[in-house]
Structure 1
Amino acid sequence: MRSPRCPVPAAALLALTVALAASVAVAAPLERADEEVRRLYEAWRSEHRRPRCNCSKAGEEDRLRLEVFRANLRYIDAHNAEADAGLHTFRLGLTPFADLTLEEFVRRALGFRNATAPRVASTRYLPRAGDDLPDAVDWRLQGAVTEVKNQRQCGGCWAFSAVAAMEGINKIVTGNLVSLSEQELIDCDSQDSGCNGGDMGNAFEFVINNGGIDTEADYPFIGKDGTCDAIRENKKVVSIDSYEMVPPNNEKALQKAVANQPVSVAINANSPAFQHYTSGIFNGVCGLQLDHGVTAVGYGSEGGRDFWIVKNSWGPGWGEGGYIRMARNVFLPTGKCGIAMDASYPVKNGPNNPMAKAGISKMALA
């Protein structure tokens, strides 16, 4: 992992700490002894391989990170005390973002940007009388979901979301699970802005127009913007024929879509509860300003509460092994955190081009 950036100027330290305190104040904090906080902080730093700042103001940066960690821990403890009292259906913990302010977390971990042109929803998954949907679906159990990946400090969530949906439909249609390249989208999709954000629909359009997408193994993720590699871009290992939008603001339509394939969804993840989520069915406060791309890979119920199974791209150290269960059927047309507002999926009608699998382009044959 890259060394942290050098700290903000000393004059900004007080303002940053005050802003953090305001963002995490929810209840009377459960104070821990300073020695315990420091011990937890050092253990967390070791677990997540967080290096010391290699800069002239390393001591100041370390003190700032400790205080941010302390404030986040106070928020986590207060929330979990409320969860123990039955006020929440999910718990928080020391995720890989435990030393970041909410502002820093948003800047580093999110990256969905709405497409400028409106898109018309398909009727493919429009609910109809007589629909008999399964009570629960988990595409992980069907071998249609690759391992949880990590976008690191790159705002390329949109690429990870789109890739997961394409990996899923490719497995369903061809029987083969192939890990695909987010880096190709980040480097080569000119409609989007790489690590500065993008849209899943644009990613699908790129793959359609390009004739396919390369594998993760051949075009690996590097955690930052790169230059498009035309040779690897021409290795069209997996292709899709088109993509469609789920009817918006309709959780039943989204359920029908997810019952048939993994679906790219946009959500609002700009909250400390999302930042520190570790387990349970997320029913926390969130807005409808869509800012993060993820993938719905299933749904189910537990204890009478319905949920979506959502694959994230923050590594397996966040959430439930990299996943979050988000409340479903919340009686809001948008769904929890806007999950039903902007959902899309790739369409694949047949096998991949055998020459594409070999990395042979039409250009090479000309």
Structure 2
Amino acid sequence: MSEFSFESLLDDSAATEKNTRVRLSRIKPYVHNRDLTTPEQIKTIEELSAQLSATNWQLVQPITVQKINDPEFDFMLIAGERRYRAFILGEQEEIDANVFEYEHFSEQQLRELNLVENQQREDEDLFSKAVRYKQYMSDFNIRANDASKRLGIESGMFSKLTNHIVDIKHFELIKELYFDKDKSQGKEKGVRDVILLTALVQIGKISNKSLATLIGFCKANNCLNRTFVLSAKKICTNSDDMDLENNLLNLLSGESYSDTPKKTSKNTKISSDTGHDDTGSDDFTLESENDGIDKNPKNTSQIDGYEVTNKKITQICVDYEGEKYDIDLTQSIPTKENEGDFLIGIHVITKDKKVLQAEKCSIAFVSA
């Protein structure tokens, strides 16, 4: 089986049949793809179908499939399910596809390709991502740090998604906030701030009563925002239940509040009142508000003989000499006289760092 490479999916040179016509009825959708049956997704697929119909069903990019041994299907869909569904909606019988041979990609590689492709789409729901990342880790017995590197996701964000956002389902009050809908428009307007949601789940894992008090207070005082909840997290952790609301009121008004920690045995497991199991690799620990920020105290390091300076994290992917690199903007190289600008690149597959000449780079995509 070939080594995992998202580039081999985007670059059709590895396909045995390129841009060939394939019968839609012989394609099996990928079972682990994100949910495309929600009203919002159905609407986007209907719009895509109408656009394709107006262009006589011409695809700029064919879908990608792999041959399979199945009595009902000839191919497994790897990439392009929205296009696949749009063609079916338009009652088409065939679609253009790049075809890979049997077992070109392993089961794990297929999952990773699917996750990486959907990761670049802005319309996948946060909770959906969290559930699918967690399932991937479980199915292939992969640790969080390794999984985040393989999928190219910042480790702090990956930790929040797989340790906390995935647990929204255990807390009814947070579910109500997250899945809140605008009844007049039929659109979701729920909370989507990852840091805010993480803090609420963390509080809920300590005490559902504290969580209920905090959310009720925030709704009554119109202060359900990241700044207030992060400040209130310490109060919820340390205050007795009878003092919590008074302390929250003091926090909101800018007055001092009681900060006497609750007495908790060192050997006592902190768990949610919901009965959610916090055992195993996802043991709950209170994370700092700087979770996900590079904690390396060194401000400089050496790469390829150049001194580089740490900077704030951003994600940009570029093409450089036929390879794709994520630009590491946490570091920079001082400009020297008579030299061009340089960037630090992280190879998307090998994760090796390399100094790139800026003038030779072209942007592949940018993601926040």
Q: TM-score, normalised by structure 1?
A: 0.30
Larger helix fraction of residues: 2
Larger strand fraction of residues: 2
Larger Rg: 2
Q: Which has the higher contact order (CA 8 A, sep 6+)?
A: 1
Q: TM-score, normalised by structure 2?
A: 0.30
